[in-house]
Amino acid sequence: MNPNRPFRVLGIQQIAVGGADKQRLRALWIGVLGLTVKSNFVSERENVDEDICALGSGPHEVEVDLMQPLDPQRKPAVHATPLNHVGLWIDDLPAAVAWMAAQGVRFAPGGIRKGAAGHDICFIHPRGSDEFPLGGEGVLIELVQAPPEVIAALSPAPQ
């Protein structure tokens, strides 16, 4: 543990699963496993039609995003890697991004912005570069600003 780290990872916020046909994903995750759909997000820029589903409730809820590309020939190819990305709750996203960049972490283009579920987000790139050698080693990692109730629920009790 690095005592100088100015943020904490609180837990899993989401997983995102991609496929060529979202209906097949829905058949398993909603029809068989019983997840509920909270909302839908469509973005030409991100080439995605995504159902945001819920597993659990309250601050312990984990999103399961079921994604298909709007155009399978365009990038980002949200279906090309079936486990598209993992999202982590972060207690102080701006501090985390600044500190991680100083440690050599490569971020995907776009910076901190509003995500599909309304939280501030940014992504650690799946691959490092010469300038920023640390990446997700093939996995896209989404960092998600935790709202106050999640921070309170997932923080350790004071000693």
| Domain annotation covers residue 119 | yes
Does 138 map to a domain? yes
Residue 3 lies in a domain: no
Q: Kindly state whether residue 16 falls inside one of the protein's structural domains.
A: yes
User: Which among 93, 126, 90 has a CA at the least distance from the CA of 108?
Assistant: 126
Could you tell me if residue 97 is inside a domain?
Answer: yes
Tell me, what's the pLDDT at 57?
87
Q: Is the pLDDT of residue 1 over 70?
A: no
Range of the domain at 54: 11-152
Instruction: Please report whether residue 34 resides in a domain.
Output: yes
Evaluate whether 147 touches 93 at the Cβ level (below 8 Å).
no
pLDDT digits (tens, 9 = 90+) for 34-80: 899 999 999 999 999 999 999 888 888 999 999 999 999 999 889 88
Residue pLDDT, tens place only, 91-107: 999 999 999 999 999 99
For the chain, what percent of residues have pLDDT higher than 90? 71
Q: Alpha-carbon distance 139 to 91, whole Å? A: 21
Share of the chain above pLDDT 70, in %: 98
The CATH number for 22's domain is 3.10.180.10
Model pLDDT, residue 41: 95
Q: Are strands 62-68 and 83-90 parallel, antiparallel or unpaired?
A: unpaired
- Copy the structure tokens of residue 135: 């990446």
Query: What is the domain count for the chain?
Result: 1
Nearest Cα neighbor of 114 from 41, 56, 32 is 41
Averaged pLDDT of the chain: 91
